[in-house]
Structure 1
Amino acid sequence: MKLFQQLLVAPAALGLLAPVAATASELNFDGVDQYASQEQVTSISQFSDVQPTDWAYQALSNLIERYGCVAGYPDGTYRGQRAMTRFEAAALLNACLDRVTEVTDELKRLMAEFEKELAILKGRVDGLEAKVGELEANQFSTTTKLTGIATMTLGGAGETGFGDNVTANYDVRLNFDTSFTGKDLLRTTLRAGNFGDSVFGNGNTALEVAFQEESGADSVGINRLFYQFPVGESVTVTAGAKVRQDDMLAMWPSAYPADTILDLFTYAGARATYSLNLGAGVGLWYQKDGFSISANFVSNENSAEDSTLGVGEDYTATVQLGYAGENWGAAFAYTYGDGLGGSPFNVVEDWNAIGLSAYWQPADSGWVPGISTGFGYTDANVAGLGNQDVWSWMVGLQWTDMFVKGNALGMAIGSAGQVGGGKCGTGALCTGGLWLDDGQDTLAYELWYKFQVTDNISVTPAFFWIENSGASDTYGGLVKTTFKF
């Protein structure tokens, strides 16, 4: 059978002899890029949906074996029962032209019929090849995407005003996200900053942007190194030498922005349950139809730096049950933490913590804010003091597109120094991601407005006030500029 006849009866080329040639504006490119970009097959058996009993089986087989100009789709199918666009037919014809040595009358008729489509297809292919060549010459990596965030702050805080505590600080994070299968994730994060012991680097006035910063001003360190991959459709596994508790949760039960101002408002109201412990860890979650269950274990990063500690000491183990809907979500979580026992000082040897957190966001932006709230209770075993009951809570409000589209207004109130993770303030009892502030009851407030200058630059002025029971109140303000790239 001649090439012209084979193309006529091949199911993918039924539209080859349409009487009216299409113009460039009428051409439908759907499917042609996907089809034409696939490798040509060498045997008809490679198509899972073509059977010997099909009426065009022999014609298609001859096209493949004699001319080798038939390609399939990424899923290994030929889709011969589907109607084909003129442009897909032109792609098939174009692939065959390169392999035909004899120009017959039938072939001339085909070339004349699809003259416009072939010309446009050639122009598109040439343009794509030029772009691919440019990308290959300038690409960072074929498997890795680089994103970054740089933050600079200027402000101060104190008991009687800003005083001498005005400071300028920065934090830079570079994320290298690598995928080998399209569904997995290898994350490596480099981080550097200079918050250190500044007024915004420690205690209740610590900023979110300063939390878990690398030790040593201006020193670059590995802040994240973990691998995440799916098992089936509903299970995800995460493991790493430096992974944080929230990296291994299927959902985060708060819509109050993580890049807000004070660090104490970033724990979903349950600061011991969601301690954000960072270190070597492993976890998995199951998620389906919005419901999820997560479980993880994180050894505090100090365990890797101190040879006297092992993965069996100084760790947190967390289980969370959650639901994330279209505009609301809620979660209940339990965390057991093991601290450093046997110290002559009062330290938290271990603790049991529970947290209940939820959020709701309006479907449309406006004067109705999104609401995030959370509550936490901790039974902490403090060496020398016995069991101590500790509480924490927070309520955060956020208005999107406030006054100007893209801008946002936010405020939060919550307990500030009773239970927390990471940094320790003056007079605090510190260990393994948990701290108690000598029993002082504290209450914190913050108010901020984010100007979205461009898609990549935002400027956020903010004010905060912290009430300390039995001590002077602390208040301050700052301007935070964030660059994302």
Structure 2
Amino acid sequence: MSQKWWTLIKSAPLWLGASILTSGGAMAASDTSATNVTASSGEQLLAQAAPGTSTNVAPEANELLQMMERSRSGKRLNTGVYNDPMSQVNNVNQLRDVEPTAWAYEALRSLVERYGCIVGYPDRTFRGDRALTRWEFAAGLNACLNVLERLIQEGVAVVREDLEKLKRLADEFAAELAALGARIDNLESRVAFLEDHQFSTTTKLNGEVIFAYANAFSDDYAFDSTFDNRTPRQQAALEDRFRVGREGIAVSRTRLNFDTSFTGKDRLRVRVESNTTPNFTTATGSNMARLGFDPSGTDSTNDTFITDLYYRGSLFKNFTVYVGTTNMGLEDVFNPGNPYMEPSGTGALSRFVRRNPLVFRGPDGNGLGAKYKFSNFLTVTALYLADEADARNPLPGRGVFNGSFSTGVQAVVSPTRTLDINLTYLHSYFREGAVNLTGSTGSRIGQDPSTAYLPLGTIPSAWNRDSVGAQIDWQAFPWLHFTAWGGYAYAEAKNPDYDSHGDLWTFNGIVSFIDVLKEGAVLSFSGGMPPRIRRVENGPDDKDTTILVEAQYKYPITKNILITPGVYAIFDPNHYERNNDIWVGVVRTTFQF
């Protein structure tokens, strides 16, 4: 008998779930909530037991508890015969369903009604009007057995007649209970083997679509501070040539990511993208007005490109390698922080606010990276990335090592679970004709001082840039997050005929309020200075100081649809106070799937 009870206990979880699928929902799961047991007139209650004991209970209840205890420490029935789905049956009753009119069915239903040991339909009723297979019936029987055992141990009164019903039912369904136990053992061993030895290569598709309406406002086209070096006639000619664009635009961006894993701990990403977002520099005269989701390496004609192709995997514990051939950015290997404003589809509306441009923007796209997590306190990352176009060009002055490239190291220090401190060093080389010291977030002078609208022109030159950046990300409270960064770079021309160098500076601060008016909604404010170049030898400086501020409210319509209205303003754009301020309003809707 102890073997039967042991089988009852073991078999319930799996086959009770099976009963939901095959019986049309007659029974769903055991309900282990507290049950108030009452006895009708004339029914005899067993004496209550002290919680956790079986000392002062009636003989039937004590016998029941002792049988359960012995069965847990005993051996299982030899049920190997049931592993064969076509094994012989000894009684035709084993092939029959349990009909609602059968004694066993009525007995189980009475237990369910009294003790609530099976949760049935949403109204918590057990509707005994459908036949059950013997396997389903055995699972339900075991659920009631477990509830009665708990009630006895907790000192709740149990009707003597109900214990007798359970014993009789256990005898009648002993064969099914034994077979179910054997099948559970077999399934458990199979699952354990698969978890330890097998991983199926899997490719997952996820995507993001942006619909946006944007409008830039300014009274005049923005020039650089070299405008003062021109004659009035030249200034008038430039003002006539360049007109500010003030028209609203409706744009879109579509991304489809194919993420493949070969080991379960790696990822091969292939991204297909199309984008119709224009570069607002053309309309305003300043890179500072650029949107955060406009294309960097592709045009905005809505053509489709493979924009990402790189692999990330762990060689051993805490050590991750990165290999990329298409658009593997510095921010894909380094940790750029800024969790609420860095993503292009759901983060900042302006390009500058997304990340520190002096250490997270530069020549990249093709190369290698490695990250090692020493502990929860310290993670170190190193990389070498070549400009994507140069890396596949075999001509002199190009290639992986002679074209534009970036190499650097980052240390992320995490004193607490809510505070990250990023310290980053980056050395970048920009070949002649491809200089962009500010990552397209500053003035034309800061981008390439050697070709910045000088009246007589200068000799184009390659440049080196050595940058350092520090950043803090602090989740001060569950509803409040701070990000702040600062960066400095020393830039030097690499041309024997043109000796020049200069200093670049940038800073920014962001505060985000989480769950404003709705869970998942984020209200963010940002303010900082885009990269500014000073003390340029044999070249122009940024004379004044630009401040860029942004405000946005990210509101989740559903779990996968976000709408983000916002505005950002550029005061004294291009670090030149003669320019009129630029205002950019945006309403961005993001669909994720």
Does 1:483 pair with 2:567? no
Give the secondary structure class of the aligned counterpart of 1:311. Answer: helix
Q: 274, 284, 307: which is aligned to 2:360?
A: 274
- Give the Å deviation of 1:159: 1.6
Does 1:113 pair with 2:99? no
The aligned residue for residue 254 of structure 2 is 172
Task: Provide closer, same or farther for how the CA distance between residues 385 and 192 of structure 1 changes in structure 2, counting only shifts above 3 A.
Answer: farther
Give the secondary structure class of the aligned counterpart of 2:332. Answer: helix
The aligned residue for residue 569 of structure 2 is 465
The aligned residue for residue 407 of structure 2 is 317
The aligned residue for residue 83 of structure 2 is 97
* 468-477 or 210-219: bigger deviation: 210-219
Task: Provide closer, same or farther for how the CA distance between residues 29 and 394 of structure 1 changes in structure 2, counting only shifts above 3 A.
Answer: farther
- Give the Å deviation of 1:417: 4.4
- Give the Å deviation of 1:120: 11
- Give the Å deviation of 1:304: 3.7
Name the larger-Rg structure.
Answer: 2
Is the Cα contact below 8 Å between 1:255 and 1:371 reproduced in 2? no
Is the Cα contact below 8 Å between 1:395 and 1:413 reproduced in 2? yes
What is the CA RMSD across the aligned residues, in angstroms? 3.9
- Give the Å deviation of 1:207: 1.4
Give the secondary structure class of the aligned counterpart of 1:170. Answer: strand
- Give the Å deviation of 1:274: 1.4
- Give the Å deviation of 1:440: 5.1
Give the secondary structure class of the aligned counterpart of 2:5. Answer: coil
The aligned residue for residue 378 of structure 1 is 489
Does 1:193 pair with 2:265? no
Q: Between Structure 1 and Structure 2, how many residues are aligned?
A: 378
> What amino acid is the match of 2:298?
E
Is the Cα contact below 8 Å between 1:169 and 1:195 reproduced in 2? yes
CA distance in 1, matches of 2:88, 2:516: 69
CA distance in 1, matches of 2:582, 2:390: 34
CA distance in 1, matches of 2:217, 2:385: 35
Does 1:403 pair with 2:517? yes
1:251-291 CA-to-partner distances (Å, cap 9, x unmatched) read 33333422221110112xx3211116431110100013241
Is the Cα contact below 8 Å between 1:341 and 1:348 reproduced in 2? yes
- Give the Å deviation of 1:226: 0.8
Give the secondary structure class of the aligned counterpart of 2:303. Answer: coil
Give the secondary structure class of the aligned counterpart of 2:400. Answer: coil
1:383-415 CA-to-partner distances (Å, cap 9, x unmatched) read 646110110011011111012222110010111
- The unaligned stretches of length 5 or more in structure 1 are 1-7, 9-14, 34-82, 126-140, 420-435
Identity %: 21
CA distance in 2, matches of 1:447, 1:168: 20
- Give the Å deviation of 1:102: 5.5
The aligned residue for residue 350 of structure 2 is 262
The aligned residue for residue 59 of structure 1 is none
The aligned residue for residue 18 of structure 1 is 5
The aligned residue for residue 295 of structure 1 is 382
Is the Cα contact below 8 Å between 2:406 and 2:429 reproduced in 1? yes
Does 1:285 pair with 2:371? yes
> What amino acid is the match of 2:219?
T
> What amino acid is the match of 1:235?
F
CA distance in 2, matches of 1:393, 1:451: 27
The aligned residue for residue 238 of structure 1 is 322
The aligned residue for residue 364 of structure 1 is 478
Is the Cα contact below 8 Å between 2:548 and 2:569 reproduced in 1? yes
- Give the Å deviation of 1:480: 0.6
Is the Cα contact below 8 Å between 1:371 and 1:398 reproduced in 2? yes
The aligned residue for residue 109 of structure 2 is none
Task: Provide closer, same or farther for how the CA distance between residues 350 and 110 of structure 1 changes in structure 2, counting only shifts above 3 A.
Answer: farther
Give the secondary structure class of the aligned counterpart of 1:272. Answer: helix
Task: Provide closer, same or farther for how the CA distance between residues 23 and 194 of structure 1 changes in structure 2, counting only shifts above 3 A.
Answer: same
Is the Cα contact below 8 Å between 2:491 and 2:504 reproduced in 1? yes
The aligned residue for residue 423 of structure 2 is 332
Give the secondary structure class of the aligned counterpart of 2:520. Answer: coil
- Give the Å deviation of 1:375: 0.5
Does 1:393 pair with 2:507? yes
* 469-478 or 458-467: bigger deviation: 469-478
* 95-104 or 319-328: bigger deviation: 95-104
Query: What is the TM-score normalised by the length of structure 2?
Result: 0.57
> What amino acid is the match of 2:424?
A
Matches within 5 A, 1:25-36: 27-29=12-14
Bigger share in helix: 2
Matches within 5 A, 1:143-222: 143-160=202-219, 164-198=246-280, 203-212=287-296, 214-222=298-306
CA distance in 1, matches of 2:181, 2:310: 46
CA distance in 2, matches of 1:187, 1:84: 53
Task: Provide closer, same or farther for how the CA distance between residues 114 and 386 of structure 1 changes in structure 2, counting only shifts above 3 A.
Answer: farther
- Give the Å deviation of 1:214: 2.1
Is the Cα contact below 8 Å between 2:470 and 2:487 reproduced in 1? yes
Is the Cα contact below 8 Å between 2:277 and 2:300 reproduced in 1? no
Give the secondary structure class of the aligned counterpart of 2:13. Answer: coil
Is the Cα contact below 8 Å between 2:384 and 2:407 reproduced in 1? yes
Is the Cα contact below 8 Å between 1:417 and 1:440 reproduced in 2? no
CA distance in 2, matches of 1:321, 1:480: 34
1:224-270 CA-to-partner distances (Å, cap 9, x unmatched) read 11111112111001101121112222x33333422221110112xx3
1:129-155 CA-to-partner distances (Å, cap 9, x unmatched) read xxxxxxxxxxxx961011111111102
> What amino acid is the match of 1:155?
A
> What amino acid is the match of 1:331?
N
CA distance in 2, matches of 1:233, 1:338: 33
Does 1:442 pair with 2:546? yes
> What amino acid is the match of 2:468?
I
Task: Provide closer, same or farther for how the CA distance between residues 118 and 323 of structure 1 changes in structure 2, counting only shifts above 3 A.
Answer: farther
Is the Cα contact below 8 Å between 2:270 and 2:308 reproduced in 1? yes
